Structure 1
Amino acid sequence: MNDITFPFTALVGQEPLQQALLLAAVDPSIGGVLVSGPRGTAKSTAARALAELLPEGTLVTLPLGASEEQLIGTLDIQSALRDGGVQFSPGLLAKAHLGVLYVDEVNLLPNPLVDQLLDVAASGVNIVERDGISHRHDARFVLIGTMNPEEGELRPQLLDRFGLAVEMSNCFDAHARQQIVKARLAFDADPNTFRARSEAAQAALSKQLHAARAALASFDFDDAVHAHVSALCIAAHVDGLRADLVMLRAARALAALEGASAVTVEHVERVADAVLQHRRKEAQASSDTQAPRNANANTNASNASDEGYMPPEPAGTAKIKQVRPLAAKKA
């Protein structure tokens, strides 16, 4: 990694984003993190900083103009026909194995390319096929996509396939804004000294990530956790079961990261917002609930005109607790 990478542990006021990135690093099968927000909200800074914490420390950037072959790799058919063996030229997916694959302005990529990217991110395997010949290889990486909604949105079908989503916003808190600016100025003035101050915290967090990955398989989900996940997803009117699966995996990753003995309902609560942020359908839920009442709206208004009666407001969807910062790191 470049020695002037801003330290992940030195990021200021980015707790929800940091948590989402760490969860995806613990369990890449979560399906990556989509970070949306205006320019200048440290989206790319956080993505690059995460890669430094991983064992391989690899950061691969997918350029906007990348072709399918650049992404998935190529097969030399002539070599296969001549020598009987498959000669594979690795693409960016292979190079990102065990590291971070970063896509800036993912909303501007062609949809088929995003589709392939998300397929591999979820499965951890890349399969290249050409003229009846195929090659597969492991491609287990942390996918981070960033976007500015002002420049266009992702199709809903693709949006849903990102495991977690975090929406960044401009900071209008004077104290927090000053802390962010002071940290950036100190880093720019003397990167090495700034990084040295974060060295112990960085090492501790990297060790914590490694331990969490190793412990992941030892966790299971009890009925209370399953019930809470189902209730939250139903209340959010999500499509399909992808949200349930991602929420369980994210809660398990958080439990492992914090060294907990079991996955609890509290872990579910703390990851729910990142899971439902881009899947919640409040407008549809509200209209569905209101429709039966609207059918009798004229009757209700007529019957109540002399009594001052107003029909009750439709019930809203359940509110999800805000994601809290991670618990104190263990040394």
Structure 2
Amino acid sequence: MTVTQAKPLTQKRPVFPFSAIVGQEEMKLALILNVIDPKIGGVMIMGDRGTGKSTTIRALANLLPEIQIVADDPFSSDPVDADLQSDEVRQRLAQGEQLPIAAKQVLMVDLPLGATEDRVCGTIDIEKALTEGVKAFEPGLLAKANRGILYIDEVNLLDDHLVDVLLDSAASGWNTVEREGISIRHPARFVLVGSGNPEEGELRPQLLDRFGMHAEIRTVKEPELRVKIVEQRTEFDREPHEFIDHYQTEQVDLQKKIVTAQENLNAVGIPHELRLHISQVCAQLDVDGLRGDIVTNRAAKALAAFEGKSEVDVDEIKRVITLCLRHRLRKDPLESIDSGYKVQKVFAEVFGLAEAE
């Protein structure tokens, strides 16, 4: 997801400010890192009901600055970046056409639990294609979510085949629809966010492994904090615009920080020794494949960029490694996901730290 220059935030409808959200640090960090580098591969948020999952995700989408799009393109193609353009837009540019440009708020697209594959991927009008000789394509939710955030609540209750389709699109950045020998593809680059309650069942390990990060959220136990959350929500519901204005400075500062991190991400380095240690942790934890190594490296670099650093150090790795690896340790679908103790223990051993805090 590429964003334009940060600018003051304007409100079309009241959305709870991201910077006002109390607690749930794991979830907030994972979401911010995925926005900075969508190639991390999305985040799975598991935890109790009523803990502000959808509120937080909607707040993040609202926080981000507007993106530049080709105004008459159904896939929100980028006018400049070829990697974020549909085949039709590339063709029009190659023919020297002047494209109309508009600005658009980053979208958060909700995927309903009962959605069909056609609703998600889009449909081809075969009759029109055969009679008129044109590729008549009706875009689906993946087209709408391009360059935005796709949110699936209760993803663990979604059909495995549909989850597979979503993860394939998120990983490749493209959605391909084929019907009766006719094939259409379009860009589908989005931050995939899934959430669910462990009581209702976990995703199969093979699917869970394909989410870049796994955040755990729990109901806040401290009475003082619970009171603060209730008071904030009451104040927002009573006078939403006043509440939003109160956090405007923090919102703009956070927005600028994210934009700067996106711009500087490719310049962030990670020393060979630290990359070696990350892979050593993955090997000792018996993590299948190399996805864990890759995601941990990406997340650590995104966090370093967010903190304004030009090089990753041990602290960034420590903060992201549990989020990147805890859901990759299960070999048996009946096992529960490690809360983080096992990952932090091995991390401390490999990196030569006295103990994991």
User: What TM-score does the superposition give when structure 2 sets the normalisation length?
Assistant: 0.76
- Whether contact under 8 Å (2:15, 2:58) holds in the other structure is yes
| 1:30/1:122 contact within 8 Å kept | no
**Distance change in 2, residues 1:320/1:271 (3 Å):** farther
Q: What residue is the counterpart of 1:102 in the other structure?
A: 151
Contact 2:156/2:201 (8 A) holds in 1: yes
* 1:283, distance to aligned residue in structure 2 (A): 9.5
Look up the match of 2:27: 17
Aligned to 2:161: 112
- Which of 49, 58, 77 is matched with 2:126 structurally? 77
Once the 2 structures are TM-superposed, how far is the Cα of residue 12 of structure 1 from its aligned partner? Answer: 0.3
% identity of equivalent residues: 49
User: Retained in 2: the 8 A contact 1:236–1:281?
Assistant: no
- The answer as to 2:39 corresponding to 1:7 is no
Residue 31 of structure 1: aligned partner: 41
Distance between the aligned counterparts of 2:343 and 2:203, measured in 1? 24
Conserved in 2, the CA contact under 8 Å of 1:272 and 1:320? no
Output the CA distance in 2 between the equivalents of 1:111 and 1:282.
18
Match of 1:161 among 203, 210, 218: 210
Per-residue deviation, 1:178: 2.2
Point out the more displaced range, 201-210 or 36-45.
Answer: 201-210
Question: Which residue identity is paired with 1:155?
Answer: R
Flag structure 2 segments of 5+ consecutive residues without an equivalent: 1-10, 67-104, 334-341, 349-357
Note if contact 1:13-1:180 (Cα within 8 Å) is conserved in structure 2: no
Q: In structure 1, how many angstroms separate the alpha carbons of the residues matched to 2:15 and 2:185?
A: 33
Matches of 1:4 and 1:317, distance apart in 2: 40
For 1:317 and 1:168, how far apart are their aligned partners in 2?
A: 18
- Aligned with 1:278: secondary structure? helix
Q: Distance in 2 between matches of 1:143 and 1:317?
A: 24
- Give the Cα–Cα distance (whole angstroms) in 2 for the partners of residues 232 and 176 of structure 1: 35
**When the two structures are superposed, what TM-score results if normalisation uses the length of structure 1?**
0.82
Q: Match for residue 276 of structure 1?
A: 325
The alignment status of 1:67 with 2:129, answered yes or no, reads no
CA distance in 1, matches of 2:197, 2:344: 28
Aligned residue among 106, 130, 139 for 1:90: 139
Please give the per-residue CA displacement for 1:242-267, whole angstroms capped at 9, x wherever unaligned. Answer: 11111111111111222211122322
Structure 1: gaps (5+ residues): 285-315, 323-331
- Residue range with higher mean Cα deviation, 267-276 or 214-223: 214-223
Q: What is residue 43 of structure 1 aligned with on the other side?
A: 53
Letter matched to residue 24 of structure 1: N
CA shift for structure 1 position 153: 1.4
Question: Which deviates more, 19-28 or 259-268?
Answer: 259-268
Deviation at 1:77, TM superposition (A): 2.4
Larger Rg: 1
Q: Is residue 249 of structure 2 the alignment partner of residue 200 of structure 1?
A: yes
Q: Is the 8 A contact 1:171 1:177 kept in 2?
A: yes
For these two proteins, the number of residue pairs brought into alignment is: 291
Give the whole-Å Cα distance in 2 for the aligned partners of 1:87 and 1:213.
36
When the two chains are superposed, the root-mean-square deviation of aligned CA atoms in Å is 2.2
Q: Are residues 107 and 283 of structure 1, via their aligned partners in 2, closer, same or farther at CA, if it must alter by over 3 Å?
A: closer
Aligned-residue offset at 1:281: 4.5
